[in-house]
Copies of this chain bind each other. A is one copy, B any other.
Amino acid sequence: MTKALYQQVANSILEQIQSGELQPGARLPSENALSEQHQVGRNTIRHALSELTVKGYVESVHGVGTFVTETLFPKTVEFLYGFSQEMAQRGKNVGSKVIEAKIIQADPLLARVLRIQLGAEVVFLNRLRIVDGKPAAIERAYLPHTFCLGILEHDFSRESLYDVLAVQYNMKPDHAEQEIGAEIATPQVAALMELSHPAAVLVIHRETRTAEGRVIEYVESEFRSDRFRFYTNLKASASSPTAIFQRFPIKSEEE
């Protein structure tokens, strides 16, 4: 199964960019030139360039040409790791305490988010994350059980969820979308994180997917706002990851 022509062209150009053959700011050959080079129609070239534009690799200027994007910041500003890797990379000492780990049934929210049927089995993993000996965050992860049968036999106070998923189930997280909000910690959450009431926490909802687009997990978490900030780069030219918006209310603690 060979890929579509426009993807081949896009890959070819992308390789030239990533190999340094095409430097940032460099001008690509014109669409007509590319059309001749690759022996495909101009539409196909435009399709390929459109893909690269959406992904932020190139920019077109009407009447002038198409250029490799100049990135002050590395293009993909954010990267996706599990909490453990993320913290380990920062030289932090990470621990986890499993509060709850069980199979539950998908409620309407979970069914919609995980793209599974209402009532289907869902792995529920509720952990307190500990950084340098102090409570830092609470993470409630929901995974479709079909993808990871028997996963609860692992001890997630020692093992990393993403490691297990990658090694045992060959499910590698590729991209995710998340929302960041602020809330007053509920008494339960405050107690677990040893916060005095009232305290503000960062509330994050995250959908993690594989490269193929399958939803691996949906995570709700609260981070201690005195220990964490989220950091983002914004860009004006290419498509950029951040936005402000109003959405559904973040649902309160379950049960």
Contact = CB atoms under 8 A, between A and B. Distances in A.
Interface of A: 50, 54, 70-81, 83, 86-87, 89-90, 112-113, 172-184, 198-203, 205-207, 213, 223, 225-250
27 contacts: A54-B54, A70-B112, A72-B175, A73-B207, A76-B237, A76-B238, A76-B243, A78-B232, A78-B244, A79-B234, A79-B237, A79-B238, A80-B240, A83-B244, A89-B242, A174-B236, A175-B234, A175-B236, A176-B234, A177-B233, A178-B232, A181-B229, A182-B203, A226-B249, A228-B245, A228-B246, A229-B245
Number of copies: 2
Contacts of A233: 78, 175-178, 241
Max chain B CB contacts within 10 Å: which of A79, A243, A249?
A: A243
Max chain B CB contacts within 10 Å: which of A77, A89, A184?
A: A77
Nearest to A210: B236
A254 to B, nearest CB: 16
A15 to B, nearest CB: 14
Nearest to A202: B182
A138 to B, nearest CB: 14
Given A72-B207, A245-B229, A236 B178 contact: no
Nearest first, the 3 closest Cβ-Cβ pairs linking A and B are A182-B182, A78-B243, A182-B225
Contacts of A72: 112-113, 175, 179, 205, 207, 213, 247-248
A213 B79 CA distance: 23
Nearest to A237: B76
Contacts of A247: 72, 74, 229, 231
A77 B240 contact: yes
A251 to B, nearest CB: 11
A124 B137 CA distance: 36
A141 to B, nearest CB: 15
A254 B89 CA distance: 34
Nearest to A43: B43
Given A233-B175, A235-B76, A238-B76, A243 B200 contact: no
Contacts of A78: 232-235, 240, 242-244
A239 B178 contact: no
